[in-house]
Amino acid sequence: MPLQPGERKQQWVYRQIVSAIESGLLRPGDSVPSTRELAARWGTSRGVVEVAFEKLGEEGYLQAMAGKGTRVNDPLPSGFLLAQVSDVLPRTSADSPEEVAEAADVATAPNPVRVRQPFIARLPDIDGFDIKGWRECIARAARLLEPDVMGDTDPHGLPALRAEICKHLAASRAIQCSPDQVIVVTGIRHAIDLVAKVAIPQSATVALEDPGYAGAAAIFHLRRCATVAISVDEKGIDVAQLASTQASLVYVTPAHQAPTGVVMSADRREELRAWAAARGAWILEDDYDSDFSYETAPPPALKSHDPAGRIIFCGSFNKSLFPGLRIGYIVAPPALVTPLANARAITGRANPVLDQLALIEFMRSGAFLRHLKRTRQTYRTRRDLVFHELRACGWRDEDFQGAHAGFHFVLLLPSGVDETEACLLSKDAGVVVQGIKAFSRSTNGHPPPGLVIGYTALTDSQAKWFARKLALALEPLRRQSEPVSSGA
């Protein structure tokens, strides 16, 4: 690869190494020859090669390993530049075999949401997790393993864990519940599945938010439920629309609607409770990411006021700690505690005791709260870095919807802008974003166009760098929609 006219030697060295990586000559994890060796090989000074290495390190191609030289990074930056988005939503509401198969595909498809994938990283930041503290909790938990606890397969979960969950929910979600109402499960998906099995009759109709979480739709379709899509507006789910259906259950995300980020308003909450009480229907509240609230105290959970006992609440440590943990919980209304616990016992018995013991240690020692405080700060900083870059390119605060909490916000596109074109332009610039349409089950122009910006599981420099790239990619669309000035 010859030196190009005007090209500096360090740029040439940089190109040599990138080309070796991109052609597969150097593979992720491979050792790279030392700067001394390369300088000698290419007839240049060591300083020139060091400058190139520094740039390659900043861009994520190389990683210096203490005492072990330098290696090609794994994953490579191209791993997140070229990611494909395929978050598919079943679109119809019947329960034909084709649709059940489609739902099963969605449920088993590899999750396109991944850490370090700008901007589909709607996940906790595993790199920032206190792994050392967690390991210590596992070690302490292992010392607590005694015959009694080793034989415990209570489908509700260990009592001490349920007590810690109640304490946390009282403080952070204003839910007053007793450990008897809590059932430990492997996550929110598991909670939805158990509810679909026992709370509603076979082939019942379930109402889902539109746009909404595809995973919930897939689970209900696997259970052969018919689903109806109910619009979400700036106040949350449209209860008037819901009232015209025969739904036995409605699935909602009131604290930070998935994906629009809207908080359900107080009047909608009341209407929803009244609808469920009058109809004898269930409300399934998915509280997936409200442990991370950036501006104010989190709004109380819908479940915090449930006089009719119609609200089933579920939350997840897979979201607040790390996805591979697989521990979540249900807070069930009295009428559903036993049926849900029985279904849990029949289909999976209980969560592993060692994991539960470790989580008890993590919560009791204060490590959980410290984790939430630290992580909140990290995510907020990351979100603000993205804002900063977008604002610098003319986006306004009103364009950021649902940024008060969680792992993502929505960048509202000016009306008239084509969301698909915005996604394609971003992709061409190496930034993968999901449009709101990808979460939508209707095709009637609702909801307004927007891009889901998942920022939590990135590094700060990724958040900044890719926000700049995104802003530049969207500039022609943003400009197009600016009012034409009448001139002086």
Phi, psi angle pair for 23, to nearest 5°: -85, -5
- Residue 260 CA: distances (Å) to CA of 235, 254, 417: 11, 11, 17
Token code pair at residue 176: 């007053």
Nearer to ligand PLP, 229 or 258 (CB): 258
Nearer to ligand PLP, 316 or 456 (CB): 316
CB of 327 to ligand PLP, least distance (A): 8
Query: Can you tell me the distance from the alpha carbon of 163 to that of 465, in angstroms, rounded to the nearest whole number?
Result: 43
Q: Which residues bind ligand PLP (CB under 6 A)?
A: 187-189, 213, 215, 253, 258, 286, 288, 316, 318-319, 328
Query: Can you tell me the distance from the alpha carbon of 263 to that of 347, in angstroms, rounded to the nearest whole number?
Result: 34
CB of 114 to ligand PLP, least distance (A): 12
Nearer to ligand PLP, 56 or 314 (CB): 314
CB of 253 to ligand PLP, least distance (A): 5
Q: Please state the length of the chain.
A: 488
Nearer to ligand PLP, 97 or 324 (CB): 324
261 in Cβ contact with 406 (< 8 Å): yes
| Helix ranges, 65-184 (H) | 77-81, 97-108, 131-144, 147-150, 159-173
32 SS3 class: strand
Which amino acid is residue 396, in one-letter code?
Answer: R
CB of 264 to ligand PLP, least distance (A): 14
Query: Can you tell me the distance from the alpha carbon of 433 to that of 453, in angstroms, rounded to the nearest whole number?
Result: 7
Token code pair at residue 37: 């060796």
Nearer to ligand PLP, 60 or 254 (CB): 254
Nearer to ligand PLP, 213 or 313 (CB): 213
CB of 286 to ligand PLP, least distance (A): 5
Full DSSP string of 65-84: ETTTEEEE-SS-HHHHHS--
Token code pair at residue 303: 């479940």
Nearer to ligand PLP, 32 or 115 (CB): 115
- Residue 388 CA: distances (Å) to CA of 57, 240, 350, 477: 24, 39, 46, 19
Nearer to ligand PLP, 12 or 322 (CB): 322
Nearer to ligand PLP, 223 or 468 (CB): 223
Instruction: Name residue 227's beta-bridge partners.
Output: 206
CB of 317 to ligand PLP, least distance (A): 8
Phi, psi angle pair for 313, to nearest 5°: -105, 135
Nearer to ligand PLP, 436 or 477 (CB): 436
Q: For residue 346, how far is the Cα from the chain centroid?
A: 30
Phi, psi angle pair for 139, to nearest 5°: -65, -45
302 in Cβ contact with 254 (< 8 Å): yes
CB of 318 to ligand PLP, least distance (A): 4
Residue written as token pair 């699935």: 251
CB of 216 to ligand PLP, least distance (A): 7
CB of 113 to ligand PLP, least distance (A): 7
Beta strands in 109-253 (DSSP E): 182-185, 205-210, 226-233, 236-237, 249-252
Nearer to ligand PLP, 17 or 194 (CB): 194
Query: Can you tell me the distance from the alpha carbon of 447 to that of 84, in angstroms, rounded to the nearest whole number?
Result: 23
CB of 66 to ligand PLP, least distance (A): 34
- Residue closest to ligand PLP (Cβ): 187
Token code pair at residue 74: 């794994």
CB of 161 to ligand PLP, least distance (A): 16
